[in-house]
Amino acid sequence: MTASPPADLPPPELNLTDALVQLSFIVQAVLGRHGLSVTRLRKLAVLDGREIGMRHLAGILELEKSSVTGLVDRAERRGLVQRIAVPGNRRAVHVTVTPAGRAVVHQVREATGTETGRLAATLSDSRQDTFHRTVEALIHQSTPSRCKTGPRHAVRGLRNRYETNLPRAAPSGSVFACAATTSPRSSP
């Protein structure tokens, strides 16, 4: 049996990688309570309010088409998405989120917002701002071409939409679907 450290000792310092991974575990735990993975949530968010061809969806999610087919199959069985035949092309199929899928995305946004808001509330305004700018810079460096709305928009959206105690106006769009920059009807 291992003894737990005394309560008066500070927690061990985490390096940047460990800190980011631990933070992602917090978000993944919220998703898990809703039966979702990051990829499954991102798929729903990408599809929210639009029809997308399977190949286009695979490109946005950076997955093989066969993997996306499996994701869509499972989500369709849960009633979260539906396939729509493309008029004039018997082989083409678009996918869109159902009202039930949209409700799940909304629930996860709310739950994630509650959790990240609770965590953010433990930081001073100055530390929240520093954290926000640091994460924004990291995202900007790692994914400059993925988001037409820009990584800055995605991080600002995260801060505003989920950390409701922080003062800034929430942008339109979904932070879960950073690459969801398609028109309402895309080619297959």
Domains present along the chain, CATH in parentheses: 36-142 (1.10.10.10)
Residue 96's pLDDT band, with cuts at 50, 70 and 90, is very high
**pTM confidence score:** 0.65
Kindly report, residue by residue over 122-169, the tens digit of the pLDDT: 999 999 899 888 888 888 887 645 444 333 333 333 333 333 322 222
DSSP states of the chain: -PPPPPTTSPPPP--HHHHHHHHHHHHHHHHHHTT--HHHHHHHHHHTTSBEEHHHHHHHHT--HHHHHHHHHHHHHTTSEEEEEETTEEEEEEEEE-HHHHHHHHHHHHHHHHHHHHHHTTS-HHHHHHHHHHHHHHHHHH-TTT-TT-HHHHHHHHHHHH-TTS-SPPPSS-GGGTT----SB---
